[in-house]
Structure 1
Amino acid sequence: MNSVQLLLIVGVGIAVTAVARRHRIEPGWVIVVLAAGASFIPGVPRLELESEFILAVVVPPLLYSATRGASLASFGANLRAIIYLGVVTVVLTAGVLGWLSSLLLPSIGLAAAFVLGTVLAPPDTITTVSHGDEIGLPQRTTSILTGESLVNDATALTLFTIAIAAVNGEHATWGGGFLAFLRNASIGLGIGAAFAIVAMIIRKRLGNPTLETVLVLLLPFTAFLVAEEAHASGILAVVAAAFWMSVNLTLDPKHQYPGGYRTRLQEEQVWKTLDFLLETFVFAYIGLQLKWVLDAPGLARTLTAAGVLLVAAIVFRMVAVFVLFGRWSLRHRRRERRAARDVYYRQMREARNARRGGEPLPPPTLKENVLVGWTGMRGILTLAAAAGIPEHTASGAPFPGRDAIQAIALIVTLGTLLIQGTTIGWLARRLRFDLTAERAAADRMRERGHRIVAEAAAEPAPDVDASFEAQRLALGLAVRNHEVTEEVARELIEDLDLRQAARHT
């Protein structure tokens, strides 16, 4: 890819985004369609990137940025749903699509078919979550999808590694894969947290917003690459680093420092800009591959397999969501009925909930199940994994079905983006979620946060900066004491940062 192509992609992306947002259309999906059409223009060269480039340069900053806005408390509260979707559903999807691929493409063999299953398994919910307010997603649905996006990639990449090893003739088992996942996850999380701690220590001592921002921009790349070199999960290393940095530097009073507001304001705009550039590039890259996929040999069989797998991927996610969440809902109703008739059981449950800090969240509603089930768009990780399939096996033979796997990955990704991506907003509106109570609760929480800020501002302080620091300190303590949510605290801290910056201009 040359510099002229990159400039054209960015320039067209700016224009398309401006027009699409004016008409309340998701820009990424419009870019995919336009790029797919542009791939047929005579003389347009094919854009080919190494999988290492996509995984190491594109995925870490997008994942880090998405995690920055995630709530650690919401992640913990919805952990059960996140594990169902990010681990259990991904494993089951890989197995079902792998088995189906072996029937549709018997010539590539069972092991290579399961490679294709792992490539198609992880949905990309980050784009949906980033436009949750525009689409009209309930807050809990947004939290579940955000958490899923932070876990499912690591699960899929672990399965992908196991499947590749099976093609190479290595003895791979599900038990060994589970142990490998635990090892990769624990080491990856440790590496991410360690780099975040070091970055926080260095950041306080730089005293320059530009240098501090550059340091944070380097963090996701460094955590990812070091974790991958250690044969651990680079994805989870980035997630851990982002959680650790965003929670501590924004909400933890121990990690506040003078002038930090300038860096936070600058970083917010830098990440928004980087997100736009990378998302525009990713969607354009997906679309620009279409012509060469259709020129590949054995097109009829590949298109048939891709069509069947596309339908299977969409349908199976819906089924898995309803089965897993349905079992959860059934157990919840049984416990409620037992609590209603058994006083001793009810007292035990109330005591346990009191120790845990409150009643656990109930299972998602039927409408939430429908919406979560429909958010199964495949994205950049599917393409990166497909591109990362080696050309030859360990024995030196050509990797079975490599071209077909890459073509199917692209077609399924395009199909899910165009079928599910373009209709998710319509579906959310048709489901008519009643967000009145949720918004009222958010308003009450916001009012509580404003009172906490006002009370802190009323306390005497030696100067204006000290007063603003006291207000942030009060919000951080309020989050720790469960008086306000992380989301509200971040919103109010951003407002404080802007007002403090205005006092110094």
Structure 2
Amino acid sequence: MEGIVDTVVLVGIAVVGAALARRLGFVAPLVLLVAGLGLSFVPGVPEVHLEPELVLVGILPPLLYVAALQTSVPAFRLAIRPILLLAVGLVVVSAFAVGLVVHAVLPEVPFAACVALGAIVAPPDAVSATAIARRIGLPRRVVTILEGESLLNDATALVLVRISVAALLGSAVGFAEIGAAVLRNVGGGLLIGFAAAVLVAWLLRHISDPLLDDAVSLLTPFVVVIVAEELHTSSVVAVVVTGLYLGHRIPYLLSPTSRLQMDAVWRLLIFLLEGVVFLLVGLQLRTLVTGLETDLATTVQLTALVFGTLVAVRFVWVYPATYLARLVPSIRRREPRPPLSVPAVIGWAGMRGVVTLGAALTLPNTPDVADSYPRDLFVFVAFAVIVLTLLIHGTTLPALSRRLGVREDTSTEDALAEAAVQHAASRAAREALEEQAGDAPASVVDRLRALTEGRSNVAWERLGDQSQETPSAAYGRLRREMIRAERRVFKEARNSGRIPEEVLVRAQRELDLEESQLNRSDD
């Protein structure tokens, strides 16, 4: 019972923190992290021990899966070169750079352990990158690059951690062994992810019940991770591949009801997971501080050096990766040279997250290696890097992008493109109506024709003067008042016993769906 109460309290704090963040205009992960840091030292708050399996198998899969589902595959494909340079190249370089720095400060620690710490702190976080980049209005290509990096860099980092830990435990690690490990992890992850995506797509095509669709969708990332882990391949690659494949094909796999319902289910689950995960990270502070056996001076020095190395290496990598590639004529023609401010923003968007802490907690603590490296110090440094990057980079990135002018307002272009496509869609709809009308009543045909014309008009209205109320806005305002009046009558009829509860529920659902559609049209 006590565990259930603690879980409810934790979720409740996360919900209140997220609501407060929205009201204050802050990013929820930052507010919840600070709340967790403060609560970790409040008397009476129990210590929370974050298990690595919970992070890497319970929390990470759905977060990565939904991020992949929402990623545009065409945009991802066009940005694959910078994404791989960051997700693979930068992670490897950062891991070895941090390893060299740590080994210089602690020469008695095996270099393999130092590289393991470097790999742990190297990958930026998917949740914080997406939340902040989208909120501050960065250019779409920049957002795609940051999202793509955060989707794939965990796989690179976790493979490096496994190889480094194997070397620390005394296993022979040469080029052949490293190549085999990479092939097994990445190649195996690709195969498992693709096979799982094909299987799930087949299931979704043959399921007509929205509840079963939701159940399959919820189970998918966890099953993929479990299978990938059992086969000792990269579960991150497997989940991301599955999510990208299914996300691109969902319009063809699910019914409209299933898509709407699944979207609502995933939005709620991710909202709760994101809130709880950053709160949990903050709550680790007391446990990590009390368990720290290294002296304060060494701890502060190593933390500062690791943080500074990560920031410096990211900038040193991003600028050449951005401009040297454009010396190739084909790349230069396809990708115009961006201003210096764009790689500056990408370089500063290196917030770390829960994967870093989860990977740090997997560091071995067995008797044969316990005295060879300071595990408590390494875990604390990983935690400190998360806090520093989120608080420093996360709070200053909006101001930096605003100062450098790295913003993109595509509302007009989007509205124009939508209006053009909607015009073509409306024409196709009218043609289908004329072909299928047959002996349908003229009133029905006229109503459908007016509905189609209304959709087209709404799309064009978005290009007009927004200071005056448009016909569609007036329609929405008046129709909401009408729906409220209808809803009130149905409730009174239920209360007086004129209709049963089932009739109210059915009518309420129809009215809710219509009002929800009106609200979506306003967004």
State the TM-score, normalized to the length of structure 1: 0.82
What letter matches 1:70 in structure 2? T
**Which entry has the higher C-alpha Rg, 1 or 2?**
2
Q: Distance in 1 between matches of 2:338 and 2:95?
A: 24
Deviation string 1:237-295 (CA, Å, 9 cap, x unpaired) is 11111111111122xxxx446xx111100111111111111111111111111123222
Written as runs of structure 1 = structure 2, the 5 A alignment for 1:113-132 is 113-132=114-133
Distance 1:212 1:398, change over 3 A: farther
Q: 1:459, CA displacement in angstroms? A: 2.3
Q: Distance in 2 between matches of 1:82 and 1:175?
A: 26
Give the paired residue count. Answer: 444
Q: 1:230, CA displacement in angstroms? A: 1.1
Give the equivalent residue in structure 2 for 1:403: 376
Between 147-156 and 45-54, the greater mean CA deviation after superposition: 45-54
Q: Distance in 2 between matches of 1:504 and 1:38?
A: 38
Instruction: List runs of 5+ in structure 2 lacking aligned partners.
Output: 438-443, 453-509, 518-523
Give the equivalent residue in structure 2 for 1:327: 324
Q: Distance in 1 between matches of 2:346 and 2:369?
A: 43
Q: Does 1:311 align with 2:312?
A: no
Q: 1:434, CA displacement in angstroms? A: 5.3
Written as runs of structure 1 = structure 2, the 5 A alignment for 1:4-23 is 4-23=5-24
Give the equivalent residue in structure 2 for 1:443: 415
Answer whether contact 1:224 1:235 (CA < 8 A) is retained: yes
Answer whether contact 2:163 2:181 (CA < 8 A) is retained: no
Give the equivalent residue in structure 2 for 1:476: none
Equivalent position to 1:274, from 261, 269, 274 = 269
SS at match of 2:336: coil
Q: Distance in 2 between matches of 1:314 and 1:197?
A: 40
Q: Does 1:376 align with 2:373?
A: no
SS at match of 2:38: helix
Give the equivalent residue in structure 1 for 2:340: 366
Answer whether contact 1:159 1:177 (CA < 8 A) is retained: no
What letter matches 1:376 in structure 2? G
Equivalent position to 2:394, from 406, 409, 421 = 421
Q: Distance in 1 between matches of 2:420 and 2:511?
A: 19
Q: 1:455, CA displacement in angstroms? A: 2.2
Q: Distance in 1 between matches of 2:293 and 2:371?
A: 16
Deviation string 1:160-215 (CA, Å, 9 cap, x unpaired) is 11100110111213554244223321221111121122122222333211111010
Q: 1:137, CA displacement in angstroms? A: 0.8
Between 17-26 and 80-89, the greater mean CA deviation after superposition: 17-26
Equivalent position to 1:262, from 235, 257, 261 = 257
What letter matches 1:429 in structure 2? R
Deviation string 1:16-59 (CA, Å, 9 cap, x unpaired) is 22222122111211111121111111232221132112100100
What letter matches 1:381 in structure 2? V
SS at match of 2:48: coil
SS at match of 2:138: coil
CA RMSD, 1 decimal:
2.7
State the TM-score, normalized to the length of structure 2: 0.79
Q: 1:130, CA displacement in angstroms? A: 3.1
Q: 1:62, CA displacement in angstroms? A: 0.2
Q: 1:359, CA displacement in angstroms? A: 5.1
Q: 1:328, CA displacement in angstroms? A: 2.1
Instruction: List runs of 5+ in structure 1 lacking aligned partners.
Output: 336-348, 472-497
Distance 1:415 1:499, change over 3 A: same
Give the equivalent residue in structure 2 for 1:302: 299
Q: Distance in 2 between matches of 1:220 and 1:365?
A: 39
SS at match of 1:25: coil
SS at match of 1:107: coil
Q: Distance in 1 between matches of 2:173 and 2:143?
A: 36
What letter matches 1:261 in structure 2? P
Answer whether contact 1:328 1:363 (CA < 8 A) is retained: no
4+ long deviations beyond 4 Å: 395-399, 461-464, 498-505
Give the equivalent residue in structure 2 for 1:339: none
Written as runs of structure 1 = structure 2, the 5 A alignment for 1:26-425 is 26-174=27-175, 176-250=177-251, 255-256=252-253, 260-295=255-290, 296-300=292-296, 301-329=298-326, 331-332=327-328, 335=329, 360-392=334-366, 395=368, 400-425=373-398
What letter matches 1:414 in structure 2? V
SS at match of 2:233: coil
Distance 1:504 1:11, change over 3 A: closer
Answer whether contact 2:49 2:287 (CA < 8 A) is retained: no
Answer whether contact 1:47 1:288 (CA < 8 A) is retained: yes
Give the equivalent residue in structure 2 for 1:490: none
Answer whether contact 2:193 2:238 (CA < 8 A) is retained: yes
Written as runs of structure 1 = structure 2, the 5 A alignment for 1:447-458 is 447-458=419-430
What letter matches 1:107 in structure 2? E
Q: 1:502, CA displacement in angstroms? A: 4.5
